[in-house]
Amino acid sequence: MGIAIAATPAQAQDSAPTSGSSAGAEDIIVTAQRREERLVDVPIAVSAVSAPALERAEVTSVANIAAIVPNIQINQTVGNNFGPLISIRGLAPSADTSLARDQPVGLYIDGVPIGKSTGAAFDTVDLQRVEVLRGPQGTLYGKNTIGGAVNLITRAPTGDFGGSLVLGAGEFGRFTQRLTVDLPAIGDFKAKVAVAARQNRGYFRNTFNDTHFGKEEMVAARADLVWEPSPNFSAAYAYDITDSKGLPAILAISAGGSVPATSPLIAPYIYPSRPDDGISAQSALASNFRVNGHALTLQFDAGESPLGDLLFKSITARRTMHSYSASDFDGTPNDLLRIILQNDYEQFTQEVQIIGTGSQFRFTLGGFYLDDNYDVFNPRWNFQFGGDRFDLSERGGESKSYAAYGQLTWTPAFADGKLDVTVGGRWTREEKRARELLLSNTNYAANPRGATSGVFQRGPDGTPITRSGQPAAGARPGAGGIGPSDLIPLENEDSWSQFNPEFNIVYKLRPDWSFYGRVATGFKSGGINDTAATNAAFLTPYDPEDLLSFELGTKMTAFDRRVSLNLSVYHSIYKDFQAGVFVPELVTTNIINAGEAKFTGVEVEGAVRPFDALTVNFGFGYVDARYTDFVLPNGTDVTDSYTIPLSPKYNYLIGALHRLPLGFATLETNLNYSWRSSQWATITADPLSKRKAYGLLDGRIALTDIELGRGSTLELAVWGRNLADEKYWISGINLSTFTVRQWGDPRSFGAEARIRF
């Protein structure tokens, strides 16, 4: 991936001005508040990345935006490459990618919420821009999110024939193909189609069978159809699909545990540093996912009314996801720990909005409904069992979300357009049901009545209730005894509702310099631990998480827009913070509520254009995240000993883009460096889970704007990723038996050609 210039406000500087034009760039227009506004007028912290910058960085999904957007981190789910965990301002998902849990950061594609992290690495093929909103979002967005939102906005059909073709190749068997075609309008219809494919051999060799971890073969497509029968009505339908097949990411043992490092089972396979020569692991591995979505957006501009100009909007969407991963969690040719995880997920959403614009008032009213369901099949093989014995977890559930929200902005006439005062609120109700069937093989064999033998329906004395009515005591699944299918899943359900208000104010010192203050509340619903290890844990839902957030900021451009700067400071107080506690025996994470956590931080991002050909972008983030009240259910006070995981205290990025006109083309040179400080990978301050600080340097050199005639142009580029060959790991788990790490990609180079027509 050749990295382009950093996030907004840098993206205002995408095109060097032509002769006779203003040295500064044009206003940055975003839709962070569901209407087109200048970025400087939006009273929240927002980063926006434009289409040219996305193309240079080869960003086609949320999984690879962290290198060009400050103060956002994309963590990988251990063992697969399709479940990105998004964190903003140090607030990371409280657990793994369990389909039963809500994420703190919302992901949207053209206004449609992507409900779960699993499968969120789908390819969007033809992005127009990406907007990253920080802080709680609820008074304008369908699905309430407590930590922020990432909006993927695709390019709409133009009605004029045109498009682009991209062909690329790189080290480690990397090939990319991408075709986008805008079709000529036919009557009132406009259409656009886009297809993409990517092949990657993988970076790390599996010497066991001469394959490569991280191998990927991906195909994606998107089709857009817009009907505009009149100037004030439009109907837009979109279909997207991503199908990816490959092998899981590398998991290498870095240290021993209850299985000592001297044990012959793991001693030859311990890698304290990145295993560039590969590792030897089992061969029956896979990492596959398939995502598809349908969306229908209707818009009707009703024109003037006593309430101002009114726009009515409806977004109806259905999305499905299927994933299958088979991972070797021990990084050896021995059959120590294998895990299969198969997910099926379906989501339906409906959102309606009324957007009003008057001389002094602007408002948005909305209603939202979500209905989703999921099923999971999750067997785990363990060397303690021998042969084909395994733990088995089968689980599923459904949830419904209802919400009504609104926001009103007053621009008083006496302030001459310099003052905006906004109030908003959201009412949310969430209902969740879950079922779990967990059979812990060894514990069940020892005592089926034992609390840790599994999660299933039991009699008053703990005896498993079976479908067949056969006695369960002493039976051992897989060894001629009762099978898991004869046990009956345990079920649980709960619901939560809450109202969350918000207030903000903006004062424009001048048109291109504003100050804002914001007080907002947020709500993340409670839930059911569908990966619990005991009946009691499954039957005890965790509580909702509440947020009170304070933020002050300023946004400005100066010197004919050659300098732009955004600055914000914030303080967030979380009550009943949902903390994820890892359970090594089950290789899963469960949620418990901490009494209180506080996040205090500073964010800076900006751009400087000292002369027309050069733009320098920068971003910096600081966050102090800590628990202020955390007592475990057993009474142990861990306020000072537990950590906020995946929350680096410092991060920064700096990028430079230089354009040199050559007559027949423009030589474009781009460098980008991003760095983040050390962080804990788990809630306990386990030295084996501490990720060291690291920085990544990426670069790209391109010849652009090569005229081919008939309005077509050619671009030729070479790129390099991780140019300093930094050795870093991106996820890991202390399994108690041993610790495994998932390593980041090594240095790589490649080239691509792009034709626009």
**DSSP state letters, 20-71:** TS-SSPPPPEE-TTSS-EEGGG-SS-EEEEEHHHHHHHT--SGGG-TTTSTT
Q: Dmax over Cα atoms in the chain, in whole Å?
A: 88
Structure tokens at 25: 């760039």
Residue 2 included in any domain? no
| 393: containing domain | 10-756
- pLDDT score, position 9: 39
Distance separating alpha carbons of residues 755 and 115, to the nearest angstrom: 35
Question: The domain that contains 675 carries what CATH number?
Answer: 2.40.170.20
Residue 1 included in any domain? no
Distance separating alpha carbons of residues 575 and 146, to the nearest angstrom: 12
Secondary structure (3-state) at 443? helix
Q: Which residue has the tokens 């064999």?
A: 445
CA end-to-end distance (rounded Å), the chain: 23
- pLDDT score, position 63: 79
Residue 3 included in any domain? no
Secondary structure (3-state) at 297? strand
- pLDDT score, position 730: 87
Residue 731 included in any domain? yes
Residue 553 included in any domain? yes
DSSP string for 556-588: EEETTTTEEEEEEEEEEEEEEEEEEEEEGGGTE
Structure tokens at 486: 């004869």
Secondary structure (3-state) at 470? coil
Mean pLDDT by 10 residues, the chain (757 residues): 34 35 54 77 86 85 82 81 87 77 91 88 87 88 86 95 97 96 98 97 91 93 98 98 92 90 91 92 84 98 90 98 90 84 96 94 96 93 56 92 96 94 96 94 84 92 86 52 74 97 96 96 94 93 96 95 96 95 74 95 96 95 96 92 94 96 96 95 87 96 96 97 95 86 94 97
Domains contained in the chain, number: 1
Distance separating alpha carbons of residues 693 and 698, to the nearest angstrom: 17
DSSP string for 376-408: EEEEEEETTT-TT-EEEEEEEEEEEEEEEEEEE
Phi-psi region of 708 (alpha: psi -120 to 50; beta: other; left: phi over 0): alpha
